[in-house]
Amino acid sequence: MEGIGPDMPEKIPFNRPFVAGKELFYIAQAVTYGNLGGDGYFTQKCARLLEERFGIPKVLLVPSCTAALEMAALLFDLKPGDEVILPSFTFVSTASCFVRLGVRPVFIDIRPDNLNLDEELIEHSITNRTRAIFPVHYGGVGCDMTKIMSLADKYHLKVAEDAAQAVNSFQEGRALGSIGHLGCYSFHETKNFICGEGGALCINDPALIERAEIIRDKGTNRKKFLRGQVDKYTWVDVGSSYVPSELCMAFLYAQMEMLNDINKRRRTIYQYYEQALQPLADEGLLRLPARIEAEISNSHLFYILLKDQTTRDALMAHLNEQGINAVFHYVPLHTSPMGRKFGYREGDLPITENLSGRLLRLPLFHDISQMEQERVVKQTATYLRQHALRLPVSGTSTVKASRSKRSSTPTAPTIQITHASS
């Protein structure tokens, strides 16, 4: 790998895709088996493994998490004029999957402790047009699914978990992605378990299985034909080409076999950052992620929160100058050009806007060395101790949102800043 100068160490990327070891062997096997178009031996192996490991009634492998989310929107039978509640702090696919059907996104603010949607704001955002909730498990840490499912039952809403980052994460003994009516996984190369591009739709409501198979297979009942349930297959519903390549699934199966090993390695990396950066948090120079208690996370990412966006941007520039690829994360969807078309504006979701502007993600990938992590920590400490202003009190700012009843349009919560210990 090339360095960045004659006296500079090698670059540390933000992510480096992990190869478990058997990927090429399984790909060669898939070629030998001959069914490369999809739903072959390895696609079925991956699906069965996920179903058995996570207690999911039916898993359908798909080309991406975006595809899984699009299928969820179709399975919920969302129509123009309907509304879906979701966080603004998420990837565009969480919203675009149903906006493409004419559905309005109702963005709500996030919790300052785990950056997941604030479940206490959901009920105030429900109207007679609300049809579903799409919670996002940020960084592999679960939203309060007990509260969310209780509200869904109370108001007869559907729930699709965007668990793109949460494969092999758990909450109260249940796998994230297995709790809502549907769950959506990602196997993109930036995730913990990868195949380049890939995803899965977790069908936890058995009543949705038959239609999901039809939507996945271009709107045909081909699965029934292959099982011998009909003598020919034909077009019976809307759908698209949501079957992944068998080669991608052969690659993925090698990763699926190492679910626990990969989680364990990432947890070691995460804990090193947590411990090594604690002195900076104690000095009030940054805020660390909240420690996880009831949830069991897959340690998908590690972020720090700086005093303000100016400090975040300056530290990010410094790290990149030193060959360390640290990056920010989502630009809130409600402040995007598309979000503004729905009437949102800056100031509507103050916690989301505040935290997204202060967040910096550090390199975290399977084969990052401790020496590389030491470089990340050293350069972060060097810059902050020389340049950064300290956070108030101990370094943790808790932003509390006041809730007001939402009628037909989103309302912006007012905020106050209180100081709490780390």
- Tell me the per-residue pLDDT of 299-355, one tens digit each, with 9 for 90 and over: 999 999 999 999 999 999 999 999 999 999 999 999 999 999 999 999 999 999 999
**pLDDT band at residue 406 under the 50/70/90 scheme:** very low
Domains and CATH numbers, the chain: 23-256 (3.40.640.10), 259-420 (3.90.1150.10)
pLDDT at 231: 83
d(CA 66, CA 200): 10
d(CA 259, CA 264): 9
- Tell me the per-residue pLDDT of 191-219, one tens digit each, with 9 for 90 and over: 999 999 999 999 999 999 999 999 999 99
* Across 100-114, 175-189, 391-405, least confident range: 391-405
Dihedral angle sign, alpha carbons of residues 269, 271, 275, 281: positive
pLDDT at 226: 80
217: which residues sit within 8 A by CB, 6+ positions away? 223, 239, 242, 243
Dihedral angle sign, alpha carbons of residues 160, 165, 166, 168: positive
d(CA 405, CA 129): 15
* Across 1-5, 35-39, 180-184, 280-284, least confident range: 1-5
Distances (CA, A) of 201 to 90, 322, 327: 18, 40, 29
Flag whether pLDDT at 127 surpasses 60: yes
d(CA 299, CA 321): 27
CB 78 within 8 A of CB 132: yes
d(CA 253, CA 250): 5
Residues above pLDDT 70, as percent of the chain: 89
Flag whether pLDDT at 17 surpasses 50: yes
Higher pLDDT, 399 or 60: 60
d(CA 111, CA 292): 14
Flag whether pLDDT at 396 surpasses 70: no
Distances (CA, A) of 336 to 29, 91, 172, 320, 331: 45, 12, 35, 26, 7
pLDDT at 295: 56
- Tell me the per-residue pLDDT of 160-173, one tens digit each, with 9 for 90 and over: 999 999 999 999 99
Q: Position 22: which residue type?
A: K
- Tell me the per-residue pLDDT of 234-250, one tens digit each, with 9 for 90 and over: 999 999 999 999 999 99
- Tell me the per-residue pLDDT of 275-307, one tens digit each, with 9 for 90 and over: 999 999 999 999 999 987 645 899 999 999 999
Average pLDDT of the chain is 91
Q: Which of 315, 194, 308 lies closest to 249, judged by CA? A: 194
**pLDDT band at residue 225 under the 50/70/90 scheme:** confident
**pLDDT band at residue 405 under the 50/70/90 scheme:** very low
* Across 73-87, 263-277, 391-405, least confident range: 391-405
Tokens representing residue 332 in the block: 């809130």
pLDDT at 230: 86
| pTM score above 0.95 | no
Helix axes of 246-256 and 23-33: crossing angle, nearest 10 degrees: 140
**Can you tell me which residue has the tokens 């009437």?**
343
